[in-house]
Amino acid sequence: MRQMLTSIFLLLSFALIGQKNLHEQWTNALKTFVDKDGNVNYAKWKNDTIALDNYISSLEENPPAEYWSKNDSLAYFINAYNAVTVKLILDNYPLKSIRKLITPWRFKRFNLDGKKVSLNHIEHEILRKMEEPRIHFAINCASVSCPKLLNKAFYSHSMEKQLEAVTTDFINDEKRNILSVKEMEISRIFQWFAGDFGSKKERHAFIRKYAKQPVAKNAKVRFLNYDWGLNE
């Protein structure tokens, strides 16, 4: 039994170290081309895509394993979604909006375990099924009203801290949500993915949990227009 537990511990330790090293490639690229406000220098990045291409290839060559934890998988798929989105923009840059592209979310461009999958598949069939609503503030759709593209990769060992940070940042960002005691003017993310946040009462509670501004339980709700302009 002791030998078995030791083997399991070593396996998990190696997995953690391997994942951290894997995602460091993404962190290095993000720190070079993304500022602290999530603005992306696509013009500069377009001339230096080798690291990004290598990272995506590394993800494809190291798909999730059965022994991975939920946080391992969250880190892998959040980073994959964001990296593939950036790659999509760079392949078509310059452009004013991701929506100018034909079926950007449905085109199968990422090789997962020998099968090509789309951004829609990663988001709706994998990430959302993990029943973790905070992923909506971690993945980025290359648009102004999207949550900021974090200029650091997501990691298994710091997943909870990172998800809390990006959720707090998004909800209190007045460019994306305008909160007051009596009214909440909120992102359409809360409308499009309403089911992920539960009932209207539960959605209110979720927002109020992270809001730095006091918000009444019966505050009126209005959804803001979504700016699909490129996040540069």
Average pLDDT over residues 108-136: 97
Numbers of helices and strands, H then E, in the chain: 8, 5
Beta bridge partners of 117: 110
Is residue 137 over pLDDT 80? yes
DSSP of 25-45:
HHHHHHHHHB-TT--B-HHHH
Residue 9: per-residue pLDDT: 46
Is residue 13 over pLDDT 50? no
Boundaries of every domain in the chain: 2-223
Residue 11: per-residue pLDDT: 43
Average pLDDT over residues 96-124: 96
- Provide φ and ψ at 37, rounded to 5°: -95, 5
In this structure, the number of other CB atoms found within 10 A of the CB of residue 184 comes to 25
Beta bridge partners of 144: none
Q: Are residues 151 and 37 in contact, defined by beta-carbon separation less than 8 angstroms?
A: no
Is residue 221 over pLDDT 90? yes
In this structure, the number of other CB atoms found within 10 A of the CB of residue 177 comes to 20
**SS3 call for 214:** coil
Residue 110: per-residue pLDDT: 98
Average pLDDT over residues 83-88: 98
Mean pLDDT of the chain: 93
Alpha helices, DSSP H only, in 34-148? 42-45, 50-61, 70-92, 119-120
0.75 exceeded by pTM:
yes
Could you tell me if residue 183 is left (phi over 0), alpha (psi between -120 and 50 degrees) or otherwise beta?
Answer: beta
How does pLDDT run across 140-157, given as a tens digit for each residue?
999 999 999 999 999 999
How does pLDDT run across 174-214, given as a tens digit for each residue?
999 999 999 999 999 999 999 999 999 999 999 999 999 99
d(CA 27, CA 62): 17
